[in-house]
A and B are shown apart, each in its own frame.
Chain A
Amino acid sequence: MNDLIRTVLRDHGRLPVPMETLADSDDLYRAGMASHASVNVMLGLEDAFDVEFPDRMLTRGVFASVDAIAAALTELGLGAPA
């Protein structure tokens, strides 16, 4: 799951640093992800995982790291992170 999350972040996150340099727990916003890019990440994740994030989950915190995104997807029933 984390690999696919990283692919979405690489394609949509417009981070100023390569994804490979970030740990799963690193804060993506502190790494430079802008809020408009985070919306693209959310759309990319909904597409890649075929899910819909409910409004209560659409917050900055839920998309702040690879780990946080994996936890959110797990909460939506997508199985434990590999």
Chain B
Amino acid sequence: MTATADDLLAGVARAAQIAATHADDVDRQARFPREAMDELAGCGALAALVPVELGGLELGLDVLAQSCVLLGRACGATAMVFAMHTIQVACLVRHRKDSAWFEAYLRELVATPRLIASATSEVATGGNLGASSAALEPQPDGQLRFDKKAPTISYGAEADDLLTTLRRSPDAEPGDQVAVLTRRGQHELTETGRWDPLGMRGTCSPGFAVTATVGPAQVLPEPFDRISAITMVPVSHVLWSHVWLGIATDAFERARAFTRAGAQRDPAGGDANGRRLSTLLGELSLLRAAVAAGLAELTTATADDDFAGLMTMAAALRFNTLKTTASTSAPQVCWSALAMCGISGYRNDTPYSVGRHLRDALSGSVMVANDRLHATNARLLLVVKDV
């Protein structure tokens, strides 16, 4: 690993320490993890994917994935905010083509870190990211206006900028979408609900009505279906899975600390918990292997000419399966850790508390609902040959 990757991971590790300190407060108050996000901004992590030619570090997705695990072990919400921001940066970097506006934006992102949120889901179309109702409406002065009701925008109120999916024009079909980046000051966000969820409380993801007026240069040059297939979906599923792996890893470590404390207190005691811990290590190892395989597949497929492999239904099936599998197994690891730690795990005020881990990990199966992905996979399985 190069020096810059090591430097970045050292910065992320500092941010993770800060995130761990504030994790319970962030969770209890459902507040944005400001302290850790400031540290991530300060160490260059928010622009880590930006190419060298634009002044960035151009680090690989593997370094960002490892960062998600480090942060996930400390605070699930911090890790998820970082993952989601990184996904937006990946879309801008890869699909900017030769857009001068986006290149200038990415240079600025390196010099002065900005946090990017996304408005991809929509009240009218639900969780189907491949369809939009709101459209870009050309104005007489050449600007473009839009008005979108999003059921959720994670850290919408905290973000500097917003990547929004829309129909290309008022007469475009729902699937004919583009992605538009608006800067703070260009868009107006009106909160349309409260945010009081079970877990991932620090992501602060209520609904918003978004209105904005932008220049045509702020529309990503490639169509959203391509952005989605090549970057947004696979990178999301890979980075989210690393976040969930981080959460599950910390839950496992708490169960291990609990077991060790028990063995120290009572060396002659039975080793029932030790055997359960061994079983749990197996579960965690399977999750770790699935997540690592997903990252490796994405890295390989990204090297294809024109990302051909990522455009296939076989790739969609694989990355959907990574998401459904990791989001199912991470809370199971947390649940097993809770069962081992008993009341010490169930309480919110012991070194072995895993309630937050379990609640955070449970979010995985509802953020882009696993039911929806299984329905999509059911159709893909009818035609894909090599699964």
Contacts and interface: CB of A to CB of B under 8 A. Distances in A.
B383 A35 contact: no
Contacts of B382: 39, 43
A35 B175 CA distance: 9
A29 B225 contact: yes
Contact of A58 (B130, B173, B312): B312
| Size category, B interface | 20 to 34
B175 A39 contact: no
A68 to B, nearest CB: 13
Contacts of A55: 312-314, 384-386
B54 interface: no
A46 B376 CA distance: 20
Contacts of B313: 39, 55, 58-59
Interface string A27-54: 0011110111001001100100000111
Contact of A35 (B130, B308, B386): B130
Contact of A30 (B131, B173, B308): B173
Contacts of A39: 313, 379-380, 382-383
Given A30-B172, A30-B173, A56 B312 contact: yes
Nearest to A57: B312
A79 interface: no
A46 B130 CA distance: 25
Nearest to A37: B379
Interface of B: 130-131, 172-176, 225, 229, 308-309, 311-314, 376, 379-380, 382-386
A73 B272 CA distance: 61
A56 B315 CA distance: 10
A36 B309 CA distance: 20
A24 to B, nearest CB: 19
Contacts of B131: 34
B384 A30 contact: no
Contacts of A29: 173, 175-176, 225
A81 interface: no
Nearest to A30: B176
Contacts of A31: 173
A59 B311 contact: yes
A59 B306 CA distance: 13
A52 B385 CA distance: 9
A33 to B, nearest CB: 8
Kindly list the 10 A-B residue pairs having the minimum CB-CB distance in the complex, ordered from nearest: A55-B314, A58-B313, A59-B311, A39-B379, A32-B173, A42-B383, A55-B385, A59-B312, A30-B176, A58-B312
A58 B384 CA distance: 7
Given A32-B174, A39-B380, A55-B312, 19 more contacts: A29-B175, A30-B173, A30-B176, A31-B173, A39-B313, A39-B382, A42-B383, A43-B382, A54-B385, A55-B313, A55-B384, A55-B385, A58-B312, A58-B384, A59-B308, A59-B311, A59-B313, A60-B229, A61-B311
Contact of A53 (B130, B175, B383): B383
A31 to B, nearest CB: 7
Task: Among A31, A43, A58, find the residue whose CB has the most chain B CB atoms closer than 10 A.
Answer: A58
Contacts of A35: 130, 175
Contacts of B314: 55, 58
B225 A60 contact: yes
A46 B311 CA distance: 20
A26 B314 CA distance: 25
Contacts of B308: 56, 59
B300 to A, nearest CB: 14
* Most chain B beta carbons < 10 A, residue from A16, A55, A61: A55
Nearest to B387: A55
A69 to B, nearest CB: 14
B373 to A, nearest CB: 13
Contacts of A52: 385
B173 A36 contact: no
B362 to A, nearest CB: 28
A59 B174 CA distance: 19
14 contacts: A29-B173, A30-B172, A32-B173, A32-B175, A39-B313, A39-B383, A42-B383, A43-B382, A43-B383, A54-B385, A55-B313, A55-B314, A55-B385, A60-B311
